[in-house]
Structure 1
């Protein structure tokens, strides 16, 4: 049973240094304010509430729910036709920079931005960035906000969904069965990994067999909702046991916290072959595949063997 907690190691890998003045993949409020007039990015405010009370100048309301599934499987990826329609209504174009803005109240907020980033990248958008710290960091920097809603000019798109950064339940099942080689990384807090709690939509608590525990919060500057930048890729590979081009599959409950993990490993650390399992444990727990750290599993097996 894998019980590898890598937080201490990653804390030495990810620092709190300044980010490069670029729209890829992270941008700070001051960088965005300085570069936006020239770059003219589309700014997506992905909050489900609060847009009308104040948002970045020119920001378009694009609630996170657009890229999510239903209540029975929140991590499911919407049909590409539905995504295409939603992105057209937002006026998105694949030749224009896009900056994704979460609330920024907690590190969990970043996962929403990372999931939107992953979805846009998977549908062919390439000039993408996340505002580190979100709306709250923008206002804390004393930068202006506005309350007037921005009505985008609809666009026309022809999207396909790439599975380059996606791991399906079939893929994960093959890893669990040993017919495919990959490092499974559980991005949830340890109480989920250890099976002491579960998502309401999950059938069973526990984790994927052989998974390593690497909570998403590890990647953030301590005490802040801002993600830190990768500085030592070699140490990160050693910590995760990555070598020979092996795939890395990040998962959580519904592909939210794991989106942060995917973003940190793929977009910041620059690791190749990093995939997100969007359905994560809610989807996997609905199968009859084995899991680890399931409460009562050992005692149930003991009763079956010894009849006690």
Structure 2
């Protein structure tokens, strides 16, 4: 296969980025990035201002909250764009569909890690087969290695190879619940318990019979890096949550959920882990049953 790729490259059928055939780890660090910088595309999903203040050389700005990584569909917010919309977005970032991609975000908090994880999921939904996340975010890199400003990107036509096996909808979530399979809420505890509510979500609480684990439990509190596999398994066991077999991750609009999906599908290697894109916004609109622990006796559970 490597010989064929190199022949195609010599004939002008492939660019240099298509020659990187080694499997990517799901998480990379600064040393790996330095060694492989010419073989991968780096997408920085922080804000434009943060990117301009300092970013990895040759990275492309792909701001999660400023570009159309989530769009309104069915009159509801927060969805992955459809195939055409996603192809247009990725093409505007200079992606054709076969590149090896490293996603860089911030690790200053779980929410920022979730946003970067959501971009990983979006790329994999589009059919990108080699996608990794910079563990510990931009903060893990030396400031001496960063550069300021922003550069232009040459747009390409991106070919989408849709991967529906990574996606859950309301019918699938209901089926999982009916079969006593985990439907996991990855929001902070106060949201799961109903004491806080995202303004985009019509009701407080969580999916009835859903289970929850706070995203902060999956991360090193000092560095923002993901915990080692053994400790991740221990955290899920602590919350009595299965990590194998068919399951779905959800949140308000599928952003917090992406952090959990990344742990389950990428780090713990469960190929049957799906992300419920519409999450609570869709579930409530669909008429799904909710549970709000504030209706029970007592206060927030730690």
TM range (shorter): 0.7 to 0.9
Q: What is the CA distance between 1:85 and its match in structure 2?
A: 0.8
Q: What is the CA distance between 1:70 and its match in structure 2?
A: 3.6
Q: How does 1:257-276 map to 2 (within 5 A)?
A: 257-276=256-275
Q: What is the CA distance between 1:48 and its match in structure 2?
A: 2.5
Structure 1 unaligned regions, length at least 5 = 1-20, 299-308
Q: Which structure would you say has the larger RCO, counting Cα contacts within 8 Å and 6 or more residues apart?
A: 1
Deviations 1:184-204 (A, max 9, x none): 111111111111111101111
Report the Cα distance in structure 2 between the residues aligned to 1:57 and 1:195, rounded to whole angstroms.
Answer: 43
Report whether the alignment pairs 1:123 with 2:126: yes
Q: What is the CA distance between 1:62 and its match in structure 2?
A: 0.9
Report the Cα distance in structure 2 between the residues aligned to 1:238 and 1:202, rounded to whole angstroms.
Answer: 29
Report whether the alignment pairs 1:90 with 2:93: yes
Report whether the alignment pairs 1:68 with 2:70: yes
Call closer, same or farther: CA 1:210–1:220 in 2, change over 3 Å: same
* Matching residue of 2:246: 247
> Is contact 1:111–1:258 with CA below 8 Å preserved after alignment?
yes
Report the Cα distance in structure 2 between the residues aligned to 1:248 and 1:88, rounded to whole angstroms.
Answer: 31
Deviates more, 1:127-136 or 1:28-37: 28-37
Secondary structure of the equivalent of 1:250?
strand
* Matching residue of 1:187: 186
Call closer, same or farther: CA 1:267–1:113 in 2, change over 3 Å: same
Report the Cα distance in structure 2 between the residues aligned to 1:204 and 1:157, rounded to whole angstroms.
Answer: 38
Call closer, same or farther: CA 1:230–1:22 in 2, change over 3 Å: farther
Deviations 1:71-121 (A, max 9, x none): 974431111101101111111133321110112221221111110000111
Report the Cα distance in structure 2 between the residues aligned to 1:280 and 1:87, rounded to whole angstroms.
Answer: 23
User: TM-score with structure 2 length normalisation?
Assistant: 0.81
Deviations 1:223-270 (A, max 9, x none): 332222313787678665548x63111111111111010101110011
Report the Cα distance in structure 1 between the residues aligned to 2:236 and 2:138, rounded to whole angstroms.
Answer: 33
Deviations 1:21-69 (A, max 9, x none): 98421111122112224xx211101112322222110011112143212
> Is contact 1:75–1:254 with CA below 8 Å preserved after alignment?
yes
Report the Cα distance in structure 2 between the residues aligned to 1:296 and 1:105, rounded to whole angstroms.
Answer: 34
Call closer, same or farther: CA 1:150–1:48 in 2, change over 3 Å: same
* Matching residue of 1:78: 81
Aligned residues: 271
